[in-house]
Structure formats: C-alpha cells, structure tokens
Amino acid sequence: MNLILLGAPGAGKGTLAAYLIEKMGVPSVSTGNILREAIKNDTPLGREAKQFMDKGQLVPDEVVIGMLKDRVAQADCAKGFILDGFPRTIPQAEALDTIASIDLALSLEVPDGVIEGRMTGRRVCLTCGATYHIKNMPPKMEDVCDKCGDKLVVRKDDAIEVVRDRLATFHKQTEPLKDYYGKQGKLKSIDGTQGIHETERLAVEALGL
C-alpha cells in the first residue's frame, strides 16, 4: 500500500508513521527528515532548504519533488511506502501522481491550539530522526535518544512564532490536499487528539489492517 499521512505540523504524523512501519512492513519517507539530514551534512541542498525551514516556510516544490522521486525509486519502497510530510502543496500532489499510485491519504485532525501545546515539548534526534515529547512520549533518559544514544534537541522550527507560521502555511497550502484526495475518493480522516494509542487504533481501523 502507498499511503500518505496528512496533517498539520505536530499532528503526530511522524509518531504514527513509526508505528505503521512495523504494522505494514513498509518504510516511511519523511521529506522533513531528508532535508534535516542535508542541513546536518551541510550540503548545497541543505543550505538552500535551511533558509525556508528556519522561517517555517515550505522548501520550493521542485527541490522536494526531485528528492522524493529519488527516494521512492529505491528498492525498499518497491512494496509500498508511507509518506510523512509529502505532498504539502497541490503541485507536489500532481507530481506524485506521475511518480506513484497512491492508495489512501489518511488525515490526522488536530486543532491548532492543541498543536501549539504539543510542539513546545517536542524533542528530536538529529542523528536518527526519532521524535519524543517531554510529557507524552519521554525518552528513557532525559535528552538522550533511546534508539541511537545521541543528544535530543528542540528543533529551531518548533519555536512558538515559527509554529504559528507553519500552521498558517499548512492551512493555506497543504489543507487543500484534503479536497484533492477527497475528490479522488482516497481520503480518510481520524481524530488525532486522543493520545498515541487511540490514534494508532483509529488508524488501524481506517486502514483495515
């Protein structure tokens, strides 16, 4: 199955993707993680993307579309994949339709106020991409990644002013995708406010797993 996870930044797409990888036996592809890796390695792509990401803006379509195309062409995506954070604009969705056939877009519904509360507690591992939350999903040891042992940090784009800009970007550019996939009969929406396990249960139900 080729699945898209839709939802505002902080809706829980990354956390749900980590669960669904095991359940569905396919990899997840996070354009945000690929871009952060490029920034960490100080590549030309990373340097370009950073200017947009630090301001809570989207990286230009042609940059992320090329990146996504290369990633899903890799062997591990042959049996299916979960997209986390792509597509984020209508042109990205149109490009994706020429790259792969999408079975379903699952939208995680979370109001802005709840998201703002969540983001301030988010911690990420820049080495392996794992995400945690100081209250909802704390690492075993404070500020240390359970998976790879590296230090956890607050992402620059999780600062409150940036979060508000990212939510505005989401409503303007990404939310129209619900309509895009709805019209194709490929949209399912679930409540993402009820905690991690309930969200996982609702997703399993919606996906018929």
Annotated active-site residue 47? The verdict is no
Annotated active-site residue 166? The verdict is yes
Hey, which residues between 35 and 54 contact ligand AMP (CB under 6 A)? Answer: 35, 52-53
- Could you give the strand order of the β-sheet that contains 187-191, starting from the edge strand earlier in sequence? 28-30, 81-84, 2-6, 104-109, 187-191
Beta bridge partners of 190: 108
Q: Which stretch binds ligand AMP (CB under 6 A): 56-64, 94-102, 115-123, 185-193?
A: 56-64
CB 67 → ligand AMP: shortest distance, Å? 9
Annotated active-site residue 123? The verdict is no
Confirm or reject binding of residue 133 to ligand AMP (CB under 6 A): no
| Active-site residue (options: 36, 71, 118, 155) | 155
Hey, which residues between 102 and 131 contact ligand AMP (CB under 6 A)? Answer: none
Confirm or reject binding of residue 12 to ligand AMP (CB under 6 A): no
SS (H, E, C) the chain: CEEEEECCCCCCHHHHHHHHHHHHCCCEEEHHHHHHHHHHCCCHHHHHHHHHHCCCCCCCHHHHHHHHHHHHCCHHHCCCEEEECCCCCHHHHHHHHHHCCCCEEEEEECCHHHHHHHHCCEEEECCCCCEEECCCECCCECCECCCCCCEEECCHHHCHHHHHHHHHHHHHHHCHHHHHHHHCCCEEEEECCCCHHHHHHHHHHHHCC
Annotated active-site residue 36? The verdict is no
Hey, which residues between 162 and 191 contact ligand AMP (CB under 6 A)? Answer: 166
Confirm or reject binding of residue 132 to ligand AMP (CB under 6 A): no
Interface characters, 67-106, with ligand AMP (x: CB under 6 A): ------------------xx-x---x--------------
Annotated active-site residue 118? The verdict is no
| Active-site residue (options: 36, 88, 118, 123) | 88
Contact positions toward ligand AMP, by CB under 6 A? 9, 30-32, 35, 52-53, 56-59, 64, 85-86, 88, 92, 157, 166
Catalytic residue list: 13, 88, 122, 155, 166
